[in-house]
Amino acid sequence: MFRGVFVARSKIKVGVIGVGNCFSGLYQGLEYYRHHNVDRAAGLMHPVLGGYKLSDIEFVSAFDVAENKVGSHLHKATFASPNAVNWVKNMPKSNVVVQESPILDGIGTFVHGLVKPVKNKSMDVLTRDIRRHIEETQTRILLCYLPVGSQKACEYWAKMALDTGCGMVNCLPVFIASNPLWAQRFKQAGLPIAGDDIKAQVGSTIVHRTLAKLVDDRGALIDGTYQLNVGGNTDFLNMKEHGRLSSKKISKTESVQSNLRKPLDADRIHIGPSDYVPFLGNKKLGFMRIEGRMWADIPFNVELRLEVDDKANSGGVSVDALRCVQIALDRGASGYLEGPSAYFMKHPPVQYADPVARQMVEDFIAGKNQPK
């Protein structure tokens, strides 16, 4: 068991896969906090985590497929279309140049008009160059922000993490940490992973599962519930392609179901991204309804509308997931990180109620529990 004093040994050297809107929110948010008193600033679960401050997180490599991002410096690529996060006007110059990534299944049908992918290199050359770049930049954690439905691309990057000795934070709903085969590979390689599908800070999933649990804990019966989400960014445009959505729906539905004493029948729960409304941009609207019965079978219902900036929503969680993976690397801990995955992700290897998961994170940070 880890019993040391928290002394941050190094910077957290991160490589990002997918320089899209979520990354831009994270990257520009980090810059925002550089100019604000972190202890007082809103939006953080841990100003310092395991000895690491936000300013210890450094992006040292970046990978994408978009013609207008590959070859561009990171401080410019963050604003490249169709990205729509513009919170910090003057980002400091970054020396990081976005590298070409294999396209595989990254670009969906609906997004094709907005993202023009480059394909300059053969797969062998690309893989060799990516490996070399990760080594040269001393990247230690790969942060995966690929589009929904990028099964092959996400697996490519999970293998790349294993081959280059990187830990991984998997923010998309492709099951890596929660797939026992992949989790075992990370364990055997001595590398940590937190995943899968990042659970937004105040997003539809955490609100819906908390509300459903409240109703359930109070002894009421849920007869049916839905969660419909609309937004206007490329993530929502991409999710119009229903064939790419199967794991997203599983991830979001299980996240609510797992919080109930008895899961609802499949036809009593409907959760999913529901439409793309272009003028909403990064504004996301979530509509939730729970129908149920309480004392003496008397019916009730709850309706809730959530309005959030979709891209502010993942950054505050990613910074904690990244720092947990870094302290696992520092301690030589490997495999899936049970508490951090449960608290920060919608589809972790093992689901726990959020207060339990939160305590598990605190225990993990304090060195009281290590990955299995």
198 is a site residue for ligand NAD (CB under 6 A):
yes
| Total of residues contacting ligand NAD (CB under 6 A) | 37
Quick one: angle between helices 354-365 and 312-331, nearest 10? Answer: 40
Main-chain dihedrals φ then ψ at residue 53, nearest 5 degrees: -90, 170
341 DSSP β-pair partners:
none
- The DSSP line for 225-260 is EEEEEEE-SHHHHHTTSGGG-HHHHHHHHHHHHTTS
- The DSSP line for 252-285 is HHHHHHTTSSSPPPGGGEEEEEEEE-GGGTTEEE
SS3 171: coil
Q: What's the DSSP call for residue 121?
A: S
CB atoms within 10 A of CB 122: 10
Quick note: the x/- pattern for ligand NAD over 31-70, rule CB under 6 A, is --------------------------------xxxx----
Question: Which residue has the CB atom at the shortest distance from ligand NAD?
Answer: 20
21 is a site residue for ligand NAD (CB under 6 A):
yes
Q: By the 8 A CB rule, do 85 and 315 touch?
A: no
118 is a site residue for ligand NAD (CB under 6 A):
no
Quick note: the x/- pattern for ligand NAD over 213-252, rule CB under 6 A, is --------------------xxx-----------------
Which range, of 27-35, 96-104, 161-169, 212-220, touches ligand NAD by CB under 6 A? 96-104
172 is a site residue for ligand NAD (CB under 6 A):
yes
Whole-angstrom distance, CA of residue 215 vs CA of residue 160:
43
126 is a site residue for ligand NAD (CB under 6 A):
no
Determine which residue in the list 257, 313, 334, 370 makes contact with ligand NAD, applying CB under 6 A: 313
Give the footprint of ligand NAD on this chain (CB under 6 A).
17-23, 63-66, 101-104, 106-107, 115, 145-148, 150, 153, 171-172, 197-198, 200, 203, 233-235, 310-311, 313-314
